[in-house]
Amino acid sequence: MRTITKKPEVLAPAGTLEKLKVAITYGADAVYIGGNAYGLRSRAGNFTYDEMREGVAFANEHGAKVYVAANMVTHEGDAEGAGDFFRTLRDIGIHAVIVSDPALIEICATDAPGLPIHLSTQASATNYETLNFWKEEGLERVVLAREVSMDEIKEMRRNTDVEIEAFIHGAMCISYSGRCVLSNHMSHRDANRGGCSQSCRWKYDLFEMDTTDEKHSLLGGEPEEAFSMSAVDMAMIRHIPDLVENGIDSLKIEGRMKSIHYVSTVSNVYRKAIDAYCANPDNYEFQQEWEDELWKVAQRELSSGFYYGIPTEDEQLFGKKRKIPSYTFIGQVIDYDEETQVATIEQRNHFGIGDEIEFYGPGFTHHKQTINTMTDKDGNAIDRAPHALMHVKMKVTEAVKPLDMIRKLKA
């Protein structure tokens, strides 16, 4: 008989305050966000201090936590003001900071005592001796390098009691633990200080240069991505028992720059699967509908990363795509009248009369229907919803709730 000693935390990305609230509503036990300094996602919707306060208040109301990523590699002068930054986070009520640079770790521990520190995956922790070192330095949790195997995690858990966090879903970096200088070289944007230009995701070709310096493709112009440095994404939805039984404390979803469609869907799926396993591990069965649900959001092809072996060419993106997401996110419910069964929808993509749509919500609820009638916010009949963020009213066949989402099959 299997015994679950601890249900792992579902940790979701939250690039904006809206995404924070969506992630928690859809089952995340914790979210990680970025501030306006010291993080690695300069183009994400990083939080102001006031937004952090609102986010922490929302999380506390729902029994969730908020972590702040401050995981950049500091050069001379980059750490200026870090003490004030960490003290402010502590006083706001942020539950922990995620840091990789020893200088920032020292500043946080010295200038903001009481603010828990988690070691970022950027620090490449791959063995239990490293985990114990950071525990002795006062860190409560270590986010493992994405290059570790499940057997290595098992060994770590046997030899340390520091909290372990591991990525279970999302983008994989082609470089070791994200420590890359390709972006610096190709576009003069420092990946380790928040400016990654995703150079590894670009399309590459093989060229011959003639005496006039003209380029001639040796593959005929437009190859089907014959050369690639781009890794597929990770998905561990089929391996929930291994993740739980090996004592991983926090299961981390990548994607602070992803949409609310992505955040809600992925959080919903992993919440459902983890709850199902922890409720009855001896009779747990993987449900194909969970993986099918993940394919409804925009992402690359999927693999289990390094957990069960070294990735091969099958875990690289080149040639024809082997699977393509087929749904478009079209809106979210902002109000519902039980008496009339009319939902008010905030439009996010074009839809109209005759479209078959799918509603989904927290707790893995779903229902499909065809749109037969619609009105604008003033009650005027319309046949399309073409304008971004416009409010639309429609009769629904089953009850819905605010923050339920709507998608449709791509044409």
Report the C-alpha gap between 192 and 138 in whole angstroms: 24
For the cut 70, the answer to whether the pLDDT of residue 224 exceeds it is no
pLDDT in tens, 324-338: 668 999 999 999 999
Mean pLDDT lowest for which of 63-67, 110-114, 253-257?
253-257
pLDDT in tens, 5-14: 789 999 999 9
For the cut 60, the answer to whether the pLDDT of residue 372 exceeds it is yes
Report the C-alpha gap between 289 and 119 in whole angstroms: 34
Report the C-alpha gap between 327 and 226 in whole angstroms: 27
Task: Give the pLDDT of residue 181.
Answer: 77
Task: Name the token pair of 143.
Answer: 């986010």
Q: Torsions phi, psi of 122, nearest 5?
A: -60, -20
DSSP string, 253-301: EP-TTS-HHHHHHHHHHHHHHHHHHHH-GGG----HHHHHHHTTS----
Which one-letter amino acid corresponds to residue 344? T
The predicted model gives 15-25 an average pLDDT of: 96
Q: Of 2.40.30.10, 3.40.50.2300, 3.40.50.1820, 3.30.750.24, which CATH number belongs to 327-409?
A: 2.40.30.10
The predicted model gives 221-231 an average pLDDT of: 69
Q: How sure is the predictor about 274, in pLDDT bands with cuts at 50, 70 and 90?
A: very high
Burial of 90 from C-beta contacts in 10 A (0-12 / 13-18 / 19+)? middle
Q: How sure is the predictor about 127, in pLDDT bands with cuts at 50, 70 and 90?
A: very high
For the cut 80, the answer to whether the pLDDT of residue 220 exceeds it is no
Report the C-alpha gap between 40 and 194 in whole angstroms: 4
Cβ neighbours of 189 (radius 10 Å): 16
% pLDDT > 90, the chain: 70
The predicted model gives 344-365 an average pLDDT of: 97
Contact 320, 224 (CB under 8 A): yes
pLDDT in tens, 46-66: 899 999 999 999 999 999 999
For the cut 80, the answer to whether the pLDDT of residue 168 exceeds it is yes
Task: Give the pLDDT of residue 358.
Answer: 98
Contact 21, 4 (CB under 8 A): no
The ranges of the chain annotated as CATH 3.20.20.380 are 9-176+230-315
Class of domain 9-176+230-315: alpha beta
The ranges of the chain annotated as CATH 2.40.30.10 are 327-409
Q: What is the mean pLDDT of the chain?
A: 90
